[in-house]
Structure 1
């Protein structure tokens, strides 16, 4: 009996599971079930879309939103104001966000309009083609980006020029769907040439552009990078002026590749300020597969084929030049992995690609390369080489196009001709592990890992880049050094470098025979271990600092001229907006000078450690700058007792811009006292260097 009961239970459970399995949804989505939403019977409206827009435009020049009056007697409906329209948009794909677009007829509209709502998935209640009525009482008409739209008034300011979205809780009080069966919107045919202010009444309408094609600059790219909205240019034969298709990185089709042919484009007509733009509802609205295109392309340029091509390695490509600019005339291609792009801002309009034989820099005249799916770090790409050029700049072999006799950038409009997605999964590049002493020419252009490095003492407490491109010096535990270069446009440029020891990951480059490394982001320099000598660097709090200003020295500084006409001053020449202190003994020729720049007195009473730091830059041959400290300044440097400080100074007098940090120069002999720092400049009739000083700090704790 027990066995029979178990058998019956088994049969019962099996039946239940079969029933449940039949309820599982597949990936096919049906039309929204509109029956579950309230609808209204058709009735006569009192305000047309044209009149609705005029409610705002007639308020010019104040540009204040027009607010429709609230009902005096809200239940009788006698003074309720309504407008109507047919929904042209759908947010089902996610490309249109918190906006409902309408027009005044299913076909051949005379006006469109924009409704701003604080709600998503509005297509489930107001699908494309449905007729809706809008109760205007309490709503406002204003403008955003030059587009007149309906919403709620922003704040109470009479000068407000825009409206906010209709709150989700209020939508059911203002927007009503007609109970009639929804119709089909027939797109209005427009040309790019007709997208002018004289046709602004069609903003919000569904339009169709025939014989349209995406511009060559954006061929073979995705609609939008993940999470970012971007503009893609589109053209037709009516004008040479390109128009804009605005795509959201949250759209379901964002990662799809733009159609590369010619044909029909359907989208919502809009604008932002003076830029006319369209929004795609869904990909099925685009039928752009015809060739030839208006620009002459006869086939899909985004499909890579190696038929009649010969594969080359990166090492073989680099060997094509002996330093001069060389055109590549053979039908060659390479396959490589992107190892660095411009995502952090440390690389500008170029990327690095690597294969098993080596790495190479490729110059491309386009911003935000990282947003192109082909150029994501870790992506494999094919590169057709014919008609590109290879050459050396400052010793580093690069790939690109000619510019002033050197390797320049590949024009954005030509990117599609050379770069092709290998359609493989992204995989993190594996760095080549080296020591500083092991670095060689074969490593230039490669993604490398160099173990157990630290920044030299004089670079500690600096940021990665203070201005333009900055050098910082790395060293290993036996004294070998390597330059780390960082652009001031890197998103980590203002980050203070780490003071410990660790591994450096970056791209190895070459500049006039010197190896340099560029990190891709902060993860490229994670220096958390103790330094080579076993110590942990302790940063001292700043007691006084001065970066110097445009109006000269403050009262904190004393300039003292002993001999010669020139004196210390401040300048920003060659340094952007950043000022520094400078002294130059050259006045129509080298001259004898002695000039002092002396700081204010800073108290070190109660301190157990103290130091001074600054940066310096020198140009032209001449005497070295001298740095002193004193506990009692007499007012005359010649009668003051000075202690010379062993500060590290710039030693490269062949160029400006290579600022060198002094390091934390100890002031411990002045603990418990007041201290001043003096910079002594001297020159002769034979040589007069230019010295510059910046980032002055006295520290202590």
Structure 2
């Protein structure tokens, strides 16, 4: 009865606390009182009900078989080295075998959050092992439970396996390591460690730990190679976008770093990682002695003072028009030498990938492209759409690139103009710390456009895609694709779209090669650029060209050819017949590297190149009664080898040799050097099969000297 009274007492205290503080918003929380709740002591295993359980050390546990439930009546004990109070550590409890000078650590995977309320850092815990299981992920042994949902201990099972010793709460003293000791300290994964005399590398300076909702890696360095200007050793710091400190600036100085030690090793080379429990564990910035001096500088890389402060009072303000004027009358790069700064709004960034390694900024006097050698700029607070950013201009360059004046820096031993290096971003870009503002377009007609509009976010009223573009995809090759917009007076302008863009979401990508142009008329929103006197538009999302179901300039309403059969392979190969003529490899369905979205794949490489001939044949599709029909799909190729061949037939016999095949001529991906550049086939005519039942086949071949990997997705047959 005492146990139940304790639990009821705990519930009453929690409810009462919520009633009292429910209207208070504070990021600091008092640690809950958990005395006698879910508690055990060492006596339970020596003289109590657990007397028959065998005590294993963490070392012994790690030697046991993996991927199978533990049947031994055994337990381990340890001390919690982690805390998920800030949200940076997620559904994981890290423990170590001693609060000081540990010799072994362990990663415990739990399907529960806010575990710090039951198992705060320093708690001594006992874990009953029967029914749990060991697995390895990324080279790290983890303790969990094998379930249909994964290998975490379900939340309802945590209380049956993990117990806190409410009489013991130790101060976890970090184990001091150097990065050179990491490779010989795999036994310490899960332990709290301290690395001294380290600093975040310059790429991280003046940026936040993580953007909202996204986990990012930052790098800390130890030791400095003055000749090659690089750290002797580095490690990764993993930062969650859900951490309470995610939007704080990374400390800019040199000092000690305290965090949980881990690694990720999918292959032969490990990447050592550290997880911050709380930013107060980092002593890498600030006035330690109260003398007004930040003793964490100079850094190993020579930075002598905190570079992240921005004081406009010490600089002269310039406008976009002023910056462009520096390059007026020349095509050479021009260095800005004055102590100037530009305050401008981010009006277009790289969120969809249609802009790549650059952003556009704009003020009342105009807009300009800013080149930066970094991807995913949109994730940083400084480059969020609508934010005002302060740009220190001294030592940057401006240049007219094919008629468009751009801001950037020199590279390749100062012989070429281009992007500002990521390692130098801290010198130039400073968050205004002002909330984002709505981006207001400059409204123009095509005839009104002038060079003063280049770099601006503009709105073109009442435009449409020209007739010859209708029915086409937004992109159709592994390059940038041009489409043409026109107004009702017949004036035209080019719309440029990168095949690398993705107008969907992380979970539901939307490749431009799968997007058919909308045939109506409407307003286009885009960045205006120029190339050798020809104006060009760049959109940042599909909503910028929303022309669906609206009358065209001549009053007609364009109706796209309807899709009568489509397959994105979400259900595997249910609509297909795979026929293997030669070789052990066959057509499969995968989603690797494609954010969970399936595609068909054939790869003749397995421990070397293999000779293969494999066909993937679609189900029968009726074109009876149709007057027009086209085929459309996307492909992605990697590694050298034979091109994929595409055939159609209206008399499939079930045997390849007795079937009459017609070879088709679609556009296929040709970039064998990388995955991910999906290419549209274009609309391949099937008019030769009108009035018949048609099947489409993909023929893959490879040899012992070359075996490409071919992927097929977004298969459609359209007819009317």
Give the counterpart of 1:316 among 314, 322, 330: 322
Counterpart of 2:81 in structure 1 is 88
Judge conservation of contact 2:38–2:159 (CA < 8 Å) in 1.
no
For residues 280-295 of structure 1, the aligned pairs below 5 Å read 280-289=276-285, 290-295=296-301
Counterpart residue number, 2:220: 234
Alpha-carbon distance between aligned partners in 2 of 1:282 and 1:612, rounded to the nearest angstrom: 58
Q: TM-score of the superposition, structure 1-length normalised? A: 0.72
For the structure 1 residues 25 and 698, does the alpha-carbon distance in structure 2 shift closer, same or farther, using more than 3 Å as the test?
A: closer
Partner of 2:35, secondary structure, is: helix
In structure 2, which of residues 185, 198, 222 is the aligned counterpart of residue 199 of structure 1?
185
Paired residue for 2:38? 38
Contact 2:197 2:256 (C-alpha < 8 Å) held by counterparts: yes
Match of 2:459 among 449, 469, 480: 449
* Number of the residue aligned with 1:269: 261
For the Cα contact (< 8 Å) 1:140–1:163, is it kept in 2?
A: no
Q: Deviations over 1:647-696 (max 9, x none)?
A: xxxxxxxxxxxx9999999x9xx99999xxxxxxxxxxxxxxxxxxxxxx
1:260 pairs with 2:252? yes
Distance 1:176 1:436, change over 3 A: same
Corresponding residue to 1:301 among 277, 300, 307: 307
Deviation at 1:512, TM superposition (A): 1.2
**Deviation of the 1:326 alpha carbon:** 1.2
**Does residue 1:538 correspond to 2:538, yes or no?**
no
SS in 2 for 1:315: helix
SS at structure 2 position matched to 1:52: helix
Distance 2:717 2:41 in 1: 80
Contact 1:458/1:664, CA 8 A, preserved across alignment: no
SS at match of 1:346: coil
Aligned to 2:575: none
Match of 2:200 in 1: 214
For the 8 Å contact 2:39–2:166, the answer to whether it is kept is yes
- Over 3 Å counting, the alpha-carbon distance change for 1:544 and 1:113 in structure 2 is closer
CA distance in 1, matches of 2:221, 2:692: 74
In the TM superposition, 1:126-525 aligns within 5 A as: 126-153=119-146, 164-196=151-183, 198-237=184-223, 240-273=232-265, 274-289=270-285, 290-321=296-327, 322-403=330-411, 406-467=416-477, 468-492=479-503, 493=512, 494-525=514-545
How far 1:137 moved relative to its partner? 1.3
> Quick one: distance in 2 between partners of 1:698 and 1:186?
65
d(CA) in 1 for partners of 2:128, 2:691: 78
CA–CA distance in 2 between the matches of 1:604 and 1:141? 56
Q: Does 1:118 align with 2:111?
A: yes
Asked which structure has the greater CA Rg, the reply is: 1
Q: Which whole-Å deviations, capped at 9, do the CAs of 1:337-361 have from their partners, x for residues lacking one?
A: 1111111010111111111111111
Q: Which residue of 2 aligns with 1:628?
A: none
CA distance 1:300–1:698, shift in 2 (3 Å): closer
Structure 1 segment 661-680 matched on structure 2, within 5 A: none
Query: What CA distance in whole angstroms lies between the structure 1 residues aligned with 2:271 and 2:494?
Result: 45
Which position in structure 2 is the counterpart of 1:103? 96
Q: Give the Cα separation in 2 of the matches to 1:423 and 1:527.
A: 36
Q: 1: distance between equivalents of 2:154 and 2:562?
A: 50
Change (3 A) 1:137 1:386: same
- SS of the counterpart of 1:236? strand
Alpha-carbon offset, residue 534 of structure 1: 1.1
- Displacement of 1:308 in angstroms is 3.7
Aligned partners of 2:38, 2:717: CA distance in 1, in Å? 73
Deviates more, 1:233-242 or 1:104-113: 233-242
**Contact 2:35/2:166, CA 8 A, preserved across alignment:** no
Report the 3-state secondary structure (helix = DSSP H, G, I; strand = E; otherwise coil) of the residue aligned with 2:274: strand
Where 2:223 maps in the other structure, the secondary structure is: coil
The separation in 2 between residues aligned to 1:376 and 1:362, in whole angstroms, is 14
Measure the CA separation in 2 of the matches of 1:207 and 1:381. Answer: 37
- Distance (whole Å) between structure 2 residues aligned to residue 350 and residue 610 of structure 1: 43
CA distance in structure 1 between the partners assigned to 2:383 and 2:241 by the alignment:
17
SS of residue in 2 equivalent to 1:204: coil
Q: Which deviates further from its counterpart, 172-181 or 470-479?
A: 172-181
| Aligned positions, number | 536
Answer whether contact 1:143 1:163 (CA < 8 A) is retained.
Answer: no
Segments of structure 1 that go 5 or more residues without pairing to the other structure are: 1-19, 57-63, 71-79, 156-161, 546-601, 615-658, 675-696
Give the drift of 1:210.
Answer: 1.5
Distance in structure 1 (CA, Å) of the matches to 2:199 and 2:207 = 13
User: CA-to-partner distance for each residue in 1:416-442, whole Å, 9 max, x for gaps?
Assistant: 001111111111211100000000000
Q: Which residue of 2 aligns with 1:65?
A: 67
Cα distance in 1 for partners of 2:441, 2:537 equals: 13
Q: Answer with 367-376 or 286-295: which moved more.
A: 286-295
Provide the C-alpha distance between the structure 2 equivalents of 1:138 and 1:613, rounded to a whole number of angstroms. Answer: 54
Alpha-carbon RMSD = 3.2
User: Does the 8 A contact of 1:337 with 1:354 survive in 2?
Assistant: yes
CA deviations over 1:290-345 (Å, ceiling 9, x no partner) = 22222121221111112442211111111211221111122211110111111101
d(CA) in 2 for partners of 1:473, 1:139: 62
Q: Return closer, same or farther for 1:662/1:149 CA change in 2, 3 Å cut-off.
A: closer
Q: Is contact 2:472–2:683 with CA below 8 Å preserved after alignment?
A: no
Give the deviation of 1:41 after TM superposition: 1.8
For 2:180 and 2:204, the matched residues in 1 are separated by 21
Taking the aligned partners of 2:369 and 2:681, their CA distance within structure 1 comes to: 30
Cα distance, 1:153 vs structure 2: 3.0
